[in-house]
A and B are shown apart, each in its own frame.
Chain A
Amino acid sequence: MSPLVAVEPEGLRCERGGFYIDPAGSVDVAVITHAHADHARIGSKRYVCSARSLEVLRARLGPDAVIEPREYEERFALGETTVSLHPAGHVLGSAQVRIEHDRAGVCVVSGDYKRDPDPTCDGFATVECDTFVTEATFALPVYRWRDPEAIVSELFDWWRSERAHPTLVFCYAFGKAQRILAHLASRTDEPVYIHGAMDKLTDAYRRSGVRLANTKTIPESSSPKDFAGSLVLCPPSAHRSPWMKRFKAPQTAFVSGWMAVRGQKTRRGYERGFVLSDHADWPSLVRTVEETKARTVLVTHGSSDALARYLREARSIDARPLGHLYEGDEGEG
């Protein structure tokens, strides 16, 4: 029996179900795990996503896209298969895709996921399966996350220690920014400035019922004194850009799992790094793979070779790299 999913030029394809998962190209039916730019691309005829994902995916794909929302755990038919979506804990609405077929068994495609608590999205649900397709963005044992609350507290204190100049916090515009805002909601009433690129998605989170700190979008024209002592969230692409010139002597930080390694922080030129990731760390990856009880594990993204080899040699699991599915945005992490 051939496997339920295979890598093709357009992306990960389930032939028996007649759909693709997070396709790179234009297809008839696209099942979307989550609305990050490298997973949700315009151009397909019909999209299936989790109901919690609808607002953010709509913001990404535009008003004309045909989107079919499904509740988590709702079972629906696609081709010869029965499909259901399950929380992945990555960002608002993120889902694992469970595919069931009479003869080919059960396959779960994780998409991006994490196991740490996150106030902006439903927590990861373990789904047992025969074949598990896992991400491996941070699949080296040097990556192990600390308690997110502790990290946000450090970030908060660091901001509060600087009242004369702005504090610029660089983070991915979808997911990480809102996660920080959600953690800050209980800590401050002071409005947090956000970069224009975060505007639409932050609204979409609020419409989905997620409680966030007060925000103010940075106006086109502003004077440096407006930002003294303020916290500003902005995407990594704005770092060292002309846009940054409006801030006088800011302190800067990058919030990302990559910041666990000192060389990364220095190389990217940030003063501070806060290690907060929306991806699973090494212990979570290994634990999750074991909890799914999958007999075959396919590994994609990042350090897939290392994770697959470790699972094979140290855990006796039939694991192999699935090749590069997505052109990952390094800003995400």
Chain B
Amino acid sequence: MKVFCALYRGLDDASGNNEKIALMREYFRSAPAHDAAWALYLLLDKKKSALSSGALRQRLIELTSMPEWLFEECRSHVGDTAETVALLLHMLPAAEADESLTSLSLHEWMEREIPSCPRDDAAAQREALGRFWRALDARDALVLNKVLTGAFRVGVSVGLVQRALAEALEVEGTRIQHALTGEWAPSAGLFDALRDARASLDVSKPYPFMLAHPLEADFAFEPGQWQVEYKWDGIRGQVVKRDGQVFLWSRGEELVSEAFPDLCEPLAKLPDGTVIDGEILAWDEEGKRPAPFAVLQTRLQRKKLTAAHLREAPAHVIAYDLIEWGGVDWRERPLTERVAQLEAIVREQALSALTVSERFEPKDREALEALRESARERGAEGVMLKDRASTYQPGRKRGLWWKHKREPMTVDAVLVFAQAGSGRRANLFTDYTFALWRGGELVTFAKAYSGLSDEELVELDKWIRKNTREKHGPVRVVEPAHVFELAFEGIAKSARHKSGLAVRFPRILRWRRDKPASEADTVERAEALLNL
């Protein structure tokens, strides 16, 4: 555990990617295989939380008998519960440290100690956490707290971890990527399996997704070079058919087969050894077009799917690409060949639940832009441009695939509440709630966190401190004075905000210093966007 904590601190302090890779490579090489597998699991953020940060907070307050308000002062100053708790451990009343814990290895912590701390029994939690915390110094306790709450973010991307591991094991990066996609267990044998190039892959394994960059401003459009299609607004996923079974994976590498029985059944017709990349959507059967994203979302939130749900919002896959065919990895073949084969398969199998994404050939940039603008009425997010010769490569490779989203929807809204941010933005009021006019009243509409420059953040923070009207816990109610242009990708009815609306991916486009609050938009104006 101590070595792993030192790795965490090293990564936290490291200034460049090379340094981070070197630290991880050394760790993977030297750590015992079972610990290294767990470290990998944590670095890739696979571990689900064992405790909520609220429980951590509560147990610390009980164990130290410190006043709750003092904890809150500290938390809002530090900006992170796991870290605040670690920094406050010196307040624990003195007691004998459990020596047996101090030298435990990472896998013993992960497999024995942490699972011994129950999720729902406060007294037992108190007992376990008291033991854990007394055995570690504040710096190692921070790492433990992060592991417990499942917020183990230390600024290394999946790509970096995979590169470091490939270097440590001296195997090809693409192999590591494929083997680590999807679900796997951090066992002692994992590294041996990764090293063994002939080891057979788990039948459910998807491939790492190929992603696109946003189109760059100086992009020159050459009609012959690009395959153009809509960018659909659903769940990007892979359909894997092997050994008579269908597996559906989301881009977040989650197995979502269970949520889509209405896809798994018809897609079982696909021959074994087929992997298709596409978009999972809720389908409007009458219109033969995707239903709004909100429909899919409601369906995903259901714990149990009934026949009625399946009827109301049937699922559908719009296929983009073919990655494996006849059990052979097709990623090195050019896009045109992969798509041609995809069309042939769908034609032969007469699949009802899957269609191939329509392709377009705009003759010039103007036609491309027109197509992009038509995306909204088609229920799409924009268009994709894919180099016809491109191979299927993991991650974002500049220049091969571009995404060109339609212009976002915008409204001008008034800042009404502010709350301190976390991490880098702790101590600054950077989490905002915005409102729109209804009658003579401002009603909340959306929250947004990003979009302002650092200078603007600091300026607004100062203003918020001076213009607070009321405090409700961490929330400041401010004078309704400043107007911001908000952009978002979609809008739907929702009870989450007073306005009765909710938006997707809201962000601040700019600070409208030219507009007084009275000239901000109305709820009616936002509602008009619902029908677009």
Contacts and interface: CB of A to CB of B under 8 A. Distances in A.
Interface of A: 140-144, 251, 260-263, 266-267, 271-272, 283, 303, 306, 309-310, 313-314
Contacts of A140: 70, 73-74, 77
A266 B91 contact: no
Contact of B78 (A142, A251, A272, A306): A142
Q: Which of A263, A267, A303 has the most CB of B within 10 A?
A: A263
Contacts of A266: 423-424
A142 B72 CA distance: 11
A303 B78 CA distance: 13
Given A260-B87, A272-B13, A141 B426 contact: no
Given A140-B77, A141-B88, A263 B424 contact: yes
A141 to B, nearest CB: 6
B529 interface: no
B15 interface: yes
A262 B425 CA distance: 11
Contacts of B422: 263
B87 A142 contact: yes
Given A263-B423, A263-B427, A310-B67, A142 B74 contact: yes
Contacts of B74: 140-142
B182 interface: no
A262 B70 contact: no
10 contacts: A140-B73, A141-B74, A262-B80, A263-B423, A263-B425, A266-B423, A267-B424, A272-B13, A283-B90, A303-B77
A219 B502 CA distance: 60
Contacts of B69: 309
A251 B15 CA distance: 8
- Contact residues of B: prevailing secondary structure: helix
Contact of B70 (A141, A143, A271, A283): A141
Nearest to B426: A263
Contacts of A263: 78-80, 422-427
Given A140-B73, A141-B91, A263-B80, 6 more contacts: A140-B70, A142-B74, A251-B15, A271-B15, A272-B13, A313-B67
B12 interface: yes
Interface string B54-98: 000000000000110110011001111001100110110000000
A142 B77 contact: yes
Nearest to A158: B13
B70 A306 contact: yes
B12 A262 contact: yes
Contacts of A262: 12, 80, 83
A261 B77 contact: yes
A313 B70 CA distance: 11
Contact of A271 (B13, B80, B83): B13
A82 B40 CA distance: 67
Question: What 6 pairs between A and B have smallest CB-CB spacing?
Answer: A142-B87, A263-B426, A271-B15, A263-B79, A142-B74, A266-B424
Contacts of A309: 69-70
Given A140-B77, A283-B90, A310 B70 contact: yes
Given A263-B426, A271-B13, A314 B67 contact: yes
Contacts of B80: 262-263
Contacts of B66: 141
A288 to B, nearest CB: 17
Interface string B1-24: 000000000001111000000000
B73 A303 contact: yes
Nearest to B139: A146
Nearest to A260: B87
A108 B425 CA distance: 38
Interface in B407-426: 422-426
A260 B86 CA distance: 11
A144 to B, nearest CB: 5
Contacts of B67: 310, 313-314
A263 B14 CA distance: 15
A260 B90 CA distance: 14
A283 B87 CA distance: 13
A310 B71 CA distance: 11
Nearest to B15: A271
A142 B84 contact: yes
A228 B74 CA distance: 41
B61 to A, nearest CB: 12
B145 to A, nearest CB: 12
A15 to B, nearest CB: 32
B461 to A, nearest CB: 12
Contacts of A306: 70, 73
Nearest to B14: A271
Q: Which of B12, B73, B80, B91 has the most CB of A within 10 A?
A: B73
Contacts of A144: 87, 90
Contacts of A267: 424-426
A303 B424 CA distance: 20
A309 B71 CA distance: 13
Contacts of A141: 66, 70, 74, 87-88, 90-91
A142 B70 contact: no
Contacts of A272: 13
Q: Which of B74, B80, B427 has the most CB of A within 10 A?
A: B74
Interface in B136-160: none
A158 to B, nearest CB: 9
Contacts of B83: 261-262
Q: Which of A261, A271, A306 has the most CB of B within 10 A?
A: A261
Contacts of B84: 142
B221 to A, nearest CB: 39
Nearest to B89: A144
A57 to B, nearest CB: 33
Contacts of A251: 15
A127 B511 CA distance: 54
Contacts of B423: 263, 266
Nearest to B142: A262
Contacts of B78: 142, 261, 263
Contacts of A314: 67
Contacts of B77: 140, 142, 261, 303
A71 to B, nearest CB: 37
Interface in B464-489: none
A272 B13 CA distance: 6
Nearest to A140: B74
A267 B422 CA distance: 11
A64 B77 CA distance: 43
A305 B88 CA distance: 19
Q: Which of A142, A251, A283 has the most CB of B within 10 A?
A: A142
Interface string B418-460: 0000111111000000000000000000000000000000000
B89 to A, nearest CB: 9
A284 to B, nearest CB: 12
Interface in B246-292: none
Interface in B1-52: 12-15
Contacts of A142: 74, 77-78, 84, 87-88
Contacts of B427: 263
